[in-house]
Amino acid sequence: MALLPILKYPNERLHIVAQPVKEIDERIKKLTQDMAETMYEARGIGLAATQVDVHERVVVIDLSEERNDLLVLINPVITHSEGTTTYEEGCLSIPSIYDKVQRAERVRIEYQDINGANQTLDADGLLAICIQHEIDHLNGKLFIEYLSPMKQNRIKTKMKKREREEAKQQ
């Protein structure tokens, strides 16, 4: 397994729409393992392949305290949603930025598991939020795009400044 570099906002590659996975082969299985290791190392609860510059529809999520309940979603699609809730979100691609986002309270998704079997999952609470957040990544959308243009500009300025400072240190 290997740690993968996580793209940071405002990197334009975060806006690339991911393509469906055609075949769940050893490459995809290794990708999911590497993504899980990267997510755990970064202390995240979800990671989309887009965030590691792989533009295929793959997501890993683990909400467990023990970090031992990995959920792998390949080609996930939200087929039903209901209710609304507001939750403060953060993102590994936009470190140390958090803000409230309104999303569906409950979702039903269809996806393939790591063995290629078709699955259906009903989720609510934090899992529903996380699934929507990660699917947004696959669609080239970041959580800050739900915020006001003024907040988006402030965050973009802050992230560009951080990027310049990090470049100077290298």
Q: Choosing from 56, 66, 134, 163, which is the catalytic residue?
A: 134
CB within 8 Å of 112: residues ≥ 6 apart: 21, 24, 74, 75, 118, 119
Paired tokens of 79: 């087929």
Across-strand partners of 86? 102
Q: Is 133 annotated as a binding residue?
A: yes
Give CA–CA dist 43/50, Å, rounded: 18
Give CA–CA dist 57/168, Å, rounded: 34
Q: Is 65 in the active site? A: no
Q: Is 130 annotated as a binding residue?
A: no
Q: Closest Cα to residue 46, out of 92, 100, 104?
A: 92
55-92 in b/e burial notation, b at 16+ Cβ within 10 A?
Answer: bbbbbbbbeeeeeeebbbbbbbebeeeeeeeebebebb
Q: Is 91 annotated as a binding residue?
A: yes
| Catalytically annotated residues | 134
Residue numbering of the annotated binding site: 91, 133, 137
Residue numbering of the annotated binding site for Fe cation: 91, 133, 137
